[in-house]
Chains A and B, each alone.
Chain A
Amino acid sequence: MDISPATRPLVEIKGICKHFGEGPTRVDALRDVTMTLWSGEVVGLLGPSGSGKTTLLNAIGAIIEPNGGWMKLDGEVVYDNRWLRSDLRRLRLEKIGFIFQTHNLLPFLNATDNVAVVLQLAGRPREECIRRSVELLEYLEVGHRKDSMPSQLSGGEAQRVAIARALANRPRIILADEPTAALDSVRAEIVMDLLRKLAVEQQATIIAVTHDDKIFGRFDRIFKLRDGRLEDDGKAAEPDVVSP
């Protein structure tokens, strides 16, 4: 599979810290984390349980507020020791796609509407929402299940619908938390191939937290976290910088 060259940084973070609790119960989940991720990259985030992987993912996804540091997403400084945007949900809606360990589809919507809902929230007309949702489902080879409810989908199908939802608004950053954990090895390969394809085609950055050693080889770079600190980012070669 071809790897598209990175063109510009999509995620830049410097000195990001996050702790939970205070005093003797204080836990430092992230300590001075600095990283730069490029468009078209598929990046792995590894580390033992409690190392801060999910916290880092949540901080990049503007789900939790760091305690300090600086963060730039898709060319916009969004955090500088405080959030610089008040509409973080809008930020998530427009720029970030989320894929979870479990599909987290809304159980009361069928596959098409689970994808269409993010488009509708972005204010797109209903017809366009449906058309793009069906296109995405067909692209991810689950178009035949477009009218099925989440409870009627297999694990792999549901995960692909969740990926379609994550891609619906053409986000520049896709955050995936254990995207293959609920899948068998064959389906895990398919999902990783798909993510790579998306990174190349949409010039998005994909950051995946995983423990699945079978897919380690699918990442352009791997970041290792231990006790909230970044150990290294050096599995792959430095990306080809065009315009930092």
Chain B
Amino acid sequence: MSANDLKTAAFIAYKSIRRGHKSTLVLMILILSLSFINMMFIAGILKGLSELFPQVIIKNVSAYITVSSQETPRVKEFIPNQSALRAEIATIPGILRTTRRYVLAGSLAFDKDQSGQYKRLSSSIMGIDPAADAKIMGIEGLIKDGSFLSDTDTDQIILSSALAGGYGNLAPSDLGGARVGDKILVTYGNGIMRTYKVKGIYSDLMGIYENFITSKEAESVIGVSDSASQILVALDPNRQTLEKYRAQIGALAPTLKIQTYEDFLGSFGGFLNALDLIAVIVSIISVAVASVTIFVLIYVNALNKRRQIGILRAIGIKRTIIISSYVFQALFYVAASLVVGSILTFAVLYPLFLRYPLNVDFGAISLYFTAGWIIFGIVSLIAAGFLSGYLPSRLVARKDILTAIWG
């Protein structure tokens, strides 16, 4: 096709759109815009959900990487000389900061009515360095009652809302309604008993069921120093892959167990992959719906203008010019729909969801878009528009002139 053919096709398309039924035009753009919004919205929500889970794990369970005490050839309860190891880990390019945690087992007991009737449950108690921990993990931000620990606290505890009871979380068992200021009796695995005052209660995400004391207090219970059950590592994920970080840390501590947050996701990772797959499937269906919509509308339009197509051919207008004019019309519909759909998606829905995300137990789901996904959506619709303009007009334009004009 020559530039002149394209110019002629564009002129016919322009006049056809300009003089065509405005209601059909609006309907077409509306349907295609909704298809685009549907594609972006559903995929955005599913992607937002699948992005949220890893963030919840990273912020509340494992950081990007968790270094745990030795398991083979012989199980060791703690990592010795943790400060020296953390200093070495901090030298790896891309590592942002580290913190340590003690993981202790124990039972918690609470006598709500001071009647001597304790409600008990088994749980893990984490010993943390509150200031360092808060820079990596998100427990401090989840405090819903009271306040977070300070490094010097020794007789205070942070409780999970699920284990405290009465906050609506479903836990296998709870303390029956412990609140800030209440006294909790903790019996550790080594038999040592301590009473702590509840300093804060955090909103338990995803049933983590952990309680927090300071490392200083944990060390006094278990009689160690400068040790840790876990070293949590914050890093820059864009600098290198998690596996490279894992290998570099592994080289510094070959006997320790090194896990990424993906390991903690475990089979949940498969669920997240399924969400991504669903997002792709939904998008493909949206593109298919959009394609069929344009196809039907263009086909009906072309059929209605069959006589006109015959006339154009009779006066010597090339078939390719006629087909191109319909392709241009379809592309115009798609372009207009992309503009309308993009405005509604990115200027209305997206900011709305940022401001009012969908709050669920484990966090807030917002719309999540990647440039690749947006490009995929736009290119898919343009391709659908091209084919949906080309195929029906080709079908009609292939009829011989007299049949086209007189049927």
Is A bound to B?
A: no
